[in-house]
């Protein structure tokens, strides 16, 4: 079994101590649910699914860069969405990231509609898996 490592990247807010933002087993990285908050725990883009999606992916990117990768190392996404009316904004946010060239692949994923998330201002949360080179 590969060595397990746990990470709390410097560019993300500190956790409560009861979890880590990411774990790594060999060259596979598992990122816990990333939400639309900045490094100071401020909710980004309240009511704006596009802005929240961009922040979520910025947080994923921060973690992967600290571990030597980037968004192109993603191999799986699970997106939890509050309300179907957020879907177009989420798609627009992902399209913007692709257009910026920060992510050139489109990994497979699962999209799940949920009644709510831990903070009522969050419109989405994304779990992801990446494989580093």
Give me the half-sphere count of Cα atoms (radius 13 Å) on the Cβ side of residue 85.
3
Tens digit of pLDDT for each residue in 78-118?
Answer: 999 999 999 999 999 999 999 999 999 999 999 999 999 99
CB distance 1 to 41 below 8 Å: no
Residue 14 pLDDT > 90:
no
Q: What is the pTM of this model?
A: 0.95
CB distance 88 to 49 below 8 Å: yes
What is the pLDDT at residue 16?
Answer: 75
Domains present along the chain, CATH in parentheses: 4-131 (3.30.1330.40)
Whole-angstrom Cα distance, residue 29 to residue 40? 24
């Amino acid at each position: 079994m590969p060595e397990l490592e746990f990470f709390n990247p410097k560019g993300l807010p500190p956790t409560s101590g009861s979890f880590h933002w990411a774990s790594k087993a060999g060259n596979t990285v598992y990122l816990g649910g990333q939400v639309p908050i900045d490094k100071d725990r401020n909710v980004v883009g309240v009511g704006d699914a596009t802005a929240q999606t961009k922040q979520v992916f910025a947080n994923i990117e921060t973690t992967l860069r600290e571990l030597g990768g980037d968004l192109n190392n993603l191999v799986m996404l699970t997106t939890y969405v509050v309300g179907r009316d957020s879907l177009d904004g989420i798609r627009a946010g992902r399209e913007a990231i692709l257009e910026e060239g920060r992510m050139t692949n489109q990994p497979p994923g699962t999209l799940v509609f949920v009644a709510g998330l831990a903070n009522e201002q969050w419109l989405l949360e994304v779990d992801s898996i990446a494989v580093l080179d």
